[in-house]
Structure 1
Amino acid sequence: MLILTCPYCGVRADETELSPGGEAHLTRHGPGSSDDDFHGYLFTRENPRGVHFERWRHAYGCGKWFHAARDTMTLEVFGTYPAQTTEPPRDICDAITARHPGWNWRDFS
């Protein structure tokens, strides 16, 4: 079972209390963007085997959105952080690198 800690209220919640929101750190394109940009936003997603950054909502708690870094193969959680953060915090990246030497976070900008 996947257990995540909400960075806002501090509650350790299992996945039945949370709502998944898909991949984190996407560049969102809307009205006024090119067709290619909007198509990429709607349909292009990573589906890695391993480290992944996701959006979650504490649906049956404080109701806030947050990001989580986890391993999709083992369900190991490296940490959670506020959704307004534009890139993973250094301590989470360090925890991932300790478990997966040579790993580096891609440039989303």
Structure 2
Amino acid sequence: MLILHCPCCGIDADETELTPGGEAHLTRVGPDTPDEAFEGYLFMRENPRGVHFERWRHAYGCGKWFHAARCTVTLEVFGTYPAQTAKPPADLLQTISDKRPGWTWRDLA
């Protein structure tokens, strides 16, 4: 079972209390962008075998959104942080690099 720490209310919640929200740190596009950019925003998502950054909502708790970094293969959770954060915290990136040398994910690595 997947257990994530909600950084907003401080509770460790299992996946039945949470709602997944898809990939984190997407670049939003505006109404004046070309169709190709809008298509990329809607449909093109990372689906890595390994480290992945995701959005989660503590649905049956505080109701707030947060981000989680986890491994999609082992379900190991590297850490969570508030959704208002534009990039993952440096200490979290360092933790991931220590455990998974050579990992990459977009421009975050």
1: distance between equivalents of 2:86 and 2:36? Answer: 23
Equivalence for 2:9:
9
Equivalence for 1:87:
87
Question: Which ranges in structure 1 are unaligned for 5 or more consecutive residues?
Answer: none
Equivalence for 2:54:
54
Equivalence for 2:102:
102
Conserved? CA contact 1:97–1:104, under 8 Å: no
4+ runs of 1 displaced by more than 4 Å? none
Report the alpha carbon displacement of residue 38 of structure 1 after superposing the two structures with TM.
0.5
1: distance between equivalents of 2:89 and 2:82? Answer: 10
Report the identity percentage.
Answer: 74
Tell me the SS of whatever aligns to 2:94. Answer: helix
Q: Deviations over 1:41-72 (max 9, x none)?
A: 00000000000000000000111110000000
Equivalence for 1:70:
70
Equivalence for 1:26:
26
Q: Deviations over 1:53-99 (max 9, x none)?
A: 00000000111110000000000000000111111101111111111
CA RMSD after TM alignment: 1.2
Q: How many residues align?
A: 108
Tell me the SS of whatever aligns to 1:36. Answer: helix
Relative to the length of structure 1, the TM-score reads: 0.94
Conserved? CA contact 2:52–2:105, under 8 Å: no
Question: Which ranges in structure 2 are unaligned for 5 or more consecutive residues?
Answer: none
2: distance between equivalents of 1:30 and 1:17? Answer: 33
Report the alpha carbon displacement of residue 105 of structure 1 after superposing the two structures with TM.
4.4
Report the alpha carbon displacement of residue 35 of structure 1 after superposing the two structures with TM.
0.5
Report the alpha carbon displacement of residue 30 of structure 1 after superposing the two structures with TM.
3.6
